[in-house]
Amino acid sequence: MAQAQQQRFVFIFDRLQKGWDSEIAGPVAWALIPFDDAPVPPRNVEKQVRKRAKVLAKSLRMTQSSQTASLNLATEAACDYVEIARQAGAQYFVELWTKLKEQAEAAKS
């Protein structure tokens, strides 16, 4: 298992132990750890998305493990990731994070 997948698994497992739904824990973990081990994104995309992921992590700490609030924050972050990738012309990452956004929105319903 790749390192990013392992980190996401640990986060999801922790949240499931706290009573979260897996449909919510998955997108939140993906938004928190937005990069896979490969392919490597353009440097400007990586820097901006990592910065945004840090903001997400700080915000998640303040939600006190609220599933709904965490999912809303993850959805907002996914939208930002898509926009960052779109502005940089990184189509692979636009498509990747669009899937994240769609998954997060689907978990809301």
Q: CA separation (Å) from 31 to 11, 20, 53? A: 11, 16, 7
Q: CA separation (Å) from 41 to 51, 90, 96, 106? A: 14, 8, 11, 26
36-85: pLDDT as tens digits: 988 999 999 999 999 999 999 999 999 877 999 999 999 999 999 999 99
Contact present, 51 and 76 (Cβ < 8 Å): no
Give the pLDDT confidence score for residue 107 in this predicted structure. 95
Residue 1 has pLDDT above 90, yes or no: no
Q: Sketch the domain layout of the chain as residue ranges.
A: 3-108
Chain center to CA of 36: 11
Q: Is the pTM of this model over 0.85?
A: yes
Q: How far apart are CA 29 and CA 80, in angstroms?
A: 16
Give the pLDDT confidence score for residue 64 in this predicted structure. 77
Q: How far apart are CA 104 and CA 23, in angstroms?
A: 8
